Amino acid sequence: MPIQNSSNEEIILCPNSSTFTNFDWLSTYEISRVLHTVIEPEELKLLQVETLIEPGWKQSNPNDIRDKMIESLKLNDQILINKDIRILNQVKSIPTNLKVAINKALIEDHKEKYEDLLKQIEFSLELNHSINHDKKLRFKILTPKFCKSNALYRKYGSNRFLIIKLDSNQFINHLRSTSSKFMITKELTRDFFTRPLRIANRAEVIMVDLQSTPESSICPSFSKFMNDTLNIELNQNLSLAKWVARSSLLLSSTNPTIDFKPENIRRVPDVFSNSLLISHDEMNLIADALGLNYLPSAIEGRIQAKEVFVWRLGKIPESDDDENHLIQLWEDQVKGFKSVVFIKFMAFCYNFKLKGFQKEELFTSIALDQCQIVKGLTGKGSVMTDGAAAISHLGALQISRANGKTPDFLPSVYQGRIGFAKGLWFLDPNSDQLGQTCWIEIRDSQWKANLKPDSQFHFNLCRYSVPVEKSASLGKQNLPILASRGVPSSTLRDLIHEAVQAIKEDFLTSDPLDLAKTMARQTSLLAQRKITLRNQFRSFHDPTINRVDKTMNNSIKESTTDQLDPLSLAPMSFEEELTCLLTAGFSTSNRQVVEGLRKVKEAKLTRMLNFKIPVTQSAYVYVIPDPTGTLREDEAFLQFSSFRNPYTGLRVAHLICSALISRAPCVAPIDVQRINLVANASLKRAYFDILVCSIHGDRALLSLLSGGDYDGDQVFVIWDQRLVEPFQNAYPSAYHEPNETEWFDKVLTRTVKDQLLLPYKTDSKMFMNEAQKILLKGLFTPSHHSVYSLRHSLCDYILGSEDPLTFLIGWIYVKCLDAPKSGLVLRPQKDGEIIDLLKRHIRRLKIGDRMDMNLPMPSFLKDEYQGSNRYFKYPHESIYVLDRLRDTILKARDEFRSQNQKEGNNNFYIKDPDLYDFFLSQKSMFDKPLKKIEDGQKEDVFFKWGRLGIWIGVLRRIQRKISSLNQIYCKAVERSQNDRSNHQLIQDKDGYVPREDNTVYFVWESAYDEDKDELEDLLNANDNEKKIFKLSKRAYLDGLRADGYALLKASCASYLTSPTAYFPYVMAFREICYLKGQAMAGKYWKHFIPLQFLEEEKEFEENRSTSLTQESNSSLASVVKCIIKISDEHNSNSLV
């Protein structure tokens, strides 16, 4: 790799040196990460890197580079002088799952496989604004990890990019102020984003790795990359805001699936509210004439010079004249025609010669007597299918298979990206399940940008519908809307009482397995497991294998970071920990189980304090427009594949009733709508676990819900009639949206043609500068959505949901959510007007003197935003609904805590023999009085020193060590409880288990070593006795191996501590669970070693030889045979 001299323009994170030649990128990054963490930037520029790096490291495993660098720095006193040596501990190791993958690639010695692995690793930099007086930008090179898959990484490899992570809270606060926004944007532009970053022999510009190319080629490389990402010439009519948004589509987390042939891409127009029908026969003729190889679901056309109009495919209803009509037309569309109407139809067709789509036109005439005239005017239609289109049955099947899924039935919808199209694709209800054509529709609303000729149409999958198995919850946004539209507060309080009662009843059973099932059904356990699997991509951790066995495969031994405590392997989640205990067989008399159940119940009550009120008759589902057009206005269709009422257990299949739907955000009275769920034979065969909405009416149903669309939005559906019946729909005509241009300024409004096309063609450096400015302006376009979310809550609290100011602030909040993507910025003077209006109402409440610079907060937000005196409770004539609900939840939680305190810990004072029997049986076997062969004879030397070898060398040593650790742990816990600043038990294992003295040396491998007590007991022994002692100890340890030794330690901890102690679970959670699980299965450890050992002992006594050496060897061989046999039996039973 050629070396590039550092430029003054560069930001040097690690200086260049010839030493880095032939180092792979991961090793270079690791060296740079250690140096940048330990050494100040100014010192780093002057550092002679070659003095710290050895040439032999080029062949080293990248996993070892961090440790090698730290050792090298320790040896160099001049670098660490005046530095706290503990700074070296801040350099984290590579995540274990990545280490495993690296080791595997290197062991197999496949260079291509290792290179492929590098393309899946995320390299990132954290950027902060210094809080010190110097106000400088601070950088931190982050630990490499597996990246989330997206289209850009799959094309180029994630190792070609450096991800910049900004401190969002810090920067966003600055951006809210106009002056701060200007200063920080200028600073970041001048001092960071427009300057190349240097990491050793690599230079990077705007995340594009230039691989140390000469400086003169930086600009062309950047231009080529941006054009390859989104073709400049083909998309020159896009606004700059859209250009930024479209380019970012490639960064969406997706999974690769299948390629669609271009000729099987069906580009169709959206259906509008004023769209009419066209018959299958007429559509067939039009499709043939246009050269289409399929029957489009919709087609656009123009009558004379009128606006483009869309017809959708469907069966035209019969009329009184009994004519076989071919097409429907509005009355005003046929004015001026006497017998024949002339229509120009248009459709996109794939041109094989040009390798792209072209719009083809067809002029045709239709006799008026074959046209069904619909009364009324064409009017201005609104989009009814925004973001949603159909996909063939075969296409959906292949996508599922490519994603590793073999479902019993296909998901009904798939959210994804194909080319620069995005949205939701649903199964075509008319698609032949045995069809051999893999096709997909793309509507005009989904087509976001044009592709260069001969581009691939690869479907990148985001999400898909799954069987609905859990009910949903009401939230803090839709609860006030329900109350304002007629739902009594008493009904909402009843829901809380039902939820609290259900929490109590669900956990009444004493059967551990039933409780474990309840945990999976009623808690967030399954969701947590999905998150863990997603975050620990490629994690090969196997918790059934002990992690300290030196003979164990390294890839398994090291991979213990999948949300497990590294010391005990206890799950980080208390819900997962409780499930493990219950599955192992621990009953509700166990303190850990009781504490876990208490935490679960209290967590559910605390969740309700954030206004997550469970509604059993509800669901959260995807929503699509009706592809058949058979649903009437205000009708919808919903059926489930496997949903059951979580409390009754009854199956809920097809809903025929009234229901309420809403989506997030939900801030205006019209954001909750009442609809009718009906039966529909045309939809029943194809759609499960999704809501199908009518395409009839003036507006799409989802557009009423805070301007939603069908490109992947999910809705909350409630069919609990206690909520539905009293609810009164708000009519959209009563709520007029403000003029967007009056409240928001447009940014990045110029087109790509105006600002980027000419520089791209003529001056690559100018193009890079212009593109950087645009990208940065898009990045730092401030969004006020969080501020206006609070302001809306305040306004709703003091004025109510129906007040015009509440509606206005809610509208601004919704607009701000998508403002950066749309190129909108709230006008500062309008923002000031809103603040003035709110202050005026607040002064009327006589709380203005507490306001200072900030607006006060409603009292119901206390649990969400802690530590402020800005909360107030407005003296309404009727108490605000969220205040009422919060009081109800607090009362229920206080009752729960009081009841829990009364129950106490009365059942915790009996030790569990299933846990301590293993150690106790061994102890009683080997520390009992020495056996005499016959009266009057001398002690048997072998059995005396053989037993002492096991008791003193292994068991007593474990007992003393465990006792010492328990004392250290108890003192550490006591210290933490006395520290008022720490309200939790010490989590850092070094706090109660010193790493060097305990966690490293108190393991199976170190048990073979002699300790101080052991040497003292052997002072008066002769050589033969010492030999027997050591051989017996070694044979016993060889038989136990690491897993048996770990179980012995855990059993000893249970034997030595009280039944209420946490110590055994903190130190050896997995081993404790295994001991209990074995006991519950009837396989008691006390029946293993002692009985078989006695049989071998008896056999030896009957056949013992006169030679001491032969006696020792024979006996030890017998003991080894015995314990190895036991070890084999133990290993055949996987650990919990």
Instruction: Provide mean pLDDT across the span 926-946.
Output: 62
Query: Is 98 within 8 Å of 121 (Cβ atoms)?
Result: yes
HSE-CB at 82 with a 13 A cutoff on CA atoms is 4
Overall number of domains in the chain: 6
pLDDT of residue 944: 78
DSSP 8-state assignment for residue 333: G
Residue 1088: which of 928, 918, 914 has the closest Cα?
Answer: 918
Query: Is 53 within 8 Å of 31 (Cβ atoms)?
Result: yes
Query: Is 658 within 8 Å of 485 (Cβ atoms)?
Result: no
- Check pLDDT > 80 for residue 930: no
DSSP string, 684-719: HTT--SEEEE---SSS-HHHHTTT--SSS-EEEEE-
pLDDT of residue 999: 40
Q: Which residue has the higher pLDDT, 354 or 975?
A: 354
Residue 1112: which of 1041, 1026, 1015 has the closest Cα?
Answer: 1026
Q: Which residue has the tokens 């130190």?
A: 1067
Round to whole Å and give the CA distance between 533 and 477: 31
Q: Confidence band (pLDDT; 50, 70, 90) for 607? A: confident
Query: Is 168 within 8 Å of 126 (Cβ atoms)?
Result: no
pLDDT of residue 1094: 36
Q: Which residue has the higher pLDDT, 630 or 218?
A: 630
Question: Which of 338, 355, 380 is the last residue in one of the domains?
Answer: 380
> Which pTM value belongs to this model?
0.82
What torsion do the CA atoms of 843, 846, 848, 850 make, to the nearest 10 degrees? -160
Question: Which of 380, 415, 433 is the last residue in one of the domains?
Answer: 380
pLDDT of residue 1064: 84
Round to whole Å and give the CA distance between 983 and 255: 42
pLDDT of residue 939: 58
pLDDT of residue 710: 93
- Residue 639 and residue 710 in one domain: yes
Round to whole Å and give the CA distance between 180 and 836: 22
pLDDT digits (tens, 9 = 90+) for 278-306: 999 999 999 999 999 999 999 999 998 78
Q: Confidence band (pLDDT; 50, 70, 90) for 580? A: confident
- Residue 973 and residue 1025 in one domain: yes
* % of the chain exceeding 90 in pLDDT: 29
Instruction: Provide mean pLDDT across the span 360-366.
Output: 94
pLDDT of residue 878: 63
Measured in whole angstroms, the distance separating CA 266 from the mean position of its chain's CA atoms is 33
For the packed helices 881-903 and 489-506, what is the interaxial angle rounded to 10 degrees? 20
pLDDT digits (tens, 9 = 90+) for 512-555: 888 887 777 766 666 666 655 555 544 333 323 333 333 333 33
Strand partners, 128: 138
- Check pLDDT > 70 for residue 1128: no
- Residue 930 and residue 1074 in one domain: yes
- Check pLDDT > 80 for residue 250: yes
- Residue 1051 and residue 917 in one domain: yes
Q: For residue 929, give its domain range.
A: 913-1131
- Check pLDDT > 60 for residue 268: yes
Q: How many residues does the chain have?
A: 1136
Query: Is 654 within 8 Å of 723 (Cβ atoms)?
Result: no
pLDDT digits (tens, 9 = 90+) for 777-802: 777 777 788 889 989 998 998 888 88
- Composition of the chain by helix, strand, coil, percent to 5: 45, 15, 35
- Residue 799 and residue 931 in one domain: no
* % of the chain exceeding 70 in pLDDT: 77
Helix H or strand E encompassing 673: strand 672-677
Instruction: Provide mean pLDDT across the span 920-949.
Output: 68
- Check pLDDT > 80 for residue 845: no
Amino acid identity for residue 805 in this structure: L
pLDDT of residue 446: 96
- Residue 60 and residue 192 in one domain: yes
- Residue 162 and residue 199 in one domain: yes
Candidate ranges 184-188, 394-398, 1034-1038; pick with highest mean pLDDT? 394-398
Residue 906 lies in a domain: no
Is residue 665 reached through a cis peptide bond, with omega within 30 degrees of 0 on the bond before it?
yes
HSE-CB at 629 with a 13 A cutoff on CA atoms is 18
- Residue 568 and residue 661 in one domain: no
Q: Which residue has the higher pLDDT, 988 or 342?
A: 342
Residue 268 lies in a domain: no
Tokens of 943: 């059995």
Residue 1075 lies in a domain: yes
Round to whole Å and give the CA distance between 800 and 808: 12
- Residue 918 and residue 994 in one domain: yes
Amino acid identity for residue 462 in this structure: C
Q: Which residue has the higher pLDDT, 729 or 649?
A: 729
Instruction: Provide mean pLDDT across the span 92-108.
Output: 84
Residue 404 lies in a domain: no
Alpha helix positions (H), 50-167:
62-75, 77-80, 96-107, 111-118, 151-156
Query: Is 724 within 8 Å of 658 (Cβ atoms)?
Result: yes
Question: Which of 704, 731, 758 is the last residue in one of the domains?
Answer: 731
pLDDT of residue 538: 47
Q: Which residue has the tokens 């190791």?
A: 93
Instruction: Provide mean pLDDT across the span 1111-1128.
Output: 30
- Check pLDDT > 60 for residue 932: no
- Check pLDDT > 50 for residue 1109: no
Query: Is 597 within 8 Å of 507 (Cβ atoms)?
Result: yes
- Residue 819 and residue 701 in one domain: no
pLDDT of residue 874: 65
Instruction: Provide mean pLDDT across the span 176-183.
Output: 52
For the packed helices 804-817 and 785-799, what is the interaxial angle rounded to 10 degrees? 160
DSSP 8-state assignment for residue 269: P
pLDDT digits (tens, 9 = 90+) for 457-466: 999 999 999 8
Strand partners, 674: 660
Round to whole Å and give the CA distance between 271 and 383: 6
pLDDT digits (tens, 9 = 90+) for 856-886: 778 777 766 655 556 666 656 567 888 889 8
pLDDT of residue 350: 93
Round to whole Å and give the CA distance between 779 and 193: 11
- Check pLDDT > 50 for residue 1116: no
Across the chain, mean pLDDT equals 79
Residue 695 lies in a domain: yes
- Residue 284 and residue 369 in one domain: yes
The mean-pLDDT minimum among 191-200, 241-250, 440-449, 823-832 falls in 191-200
Tokens of 919: 């150690």
Query: Is 669 within 8 Å of 485 (Cβ atoms)?
Result: yes
- Check pLDDT > 70 for residue 1052: yes
Instruction: Provide mean pLDDT across the span 992-1012.
Output: 59
- Check pLDDT > 50 for residue 716: yes
pLDDT of residue 111: 75
Strand partners, 129: 137
Instruction: Provide mean pLDDT across the span 124-146.
Output: 75
The mean-pLDDT minimum among 120-134, 620-634, 830-844, 899-913 falls in 899-913
pLDDT of residue 638: 96
Q: Which residue has the higher pLDDT, 126 or 551?
A: 126
Query: Is 726 within 8 Å of 486 (Cβ atoms)?
Result: yes
Residue 35 lies in a domain: yes
pLDDT of residue 87: 76
Residue 662 lies in a domain: yes
- Check pLDDT > 50 for residue 158: yes
Residue 667: which of 488, 808, 878, 859 has the closest Cα?
Answer: 808
The mean-pLDDT minimum among 211-215, 278-282, 472-476 falls in 211-215
Instruction: Provide mean pLDDT across the span 65-93.
Output: 78
- Residue 1053 and residue 1021 in one domain: yes
Q: Which residue has the higher pLDDT, 1071 or 309?
A: 309
Instruction: Provide mean pLDDT across the span 999-1020.
Output: 72
pLDDT of residue 1014: 76
Query: Is 571 within 8 Å of 132 (Cβ atoms)?
Result: no
Residue 391 lies in a domain: no
pLDDT of residue 39: 83
pLDDT digits (tens, 9 = 90+) for 403-458: 887 767 789 999 999 999 999 999 999 887 777 889 999 999 999 999 988 888 99
Q: Confidence band (pLDDT; 50, 70, 90) for 558? A: very low
Instruction: Provide mean pLDDT across the span 980-986.
Output: 40
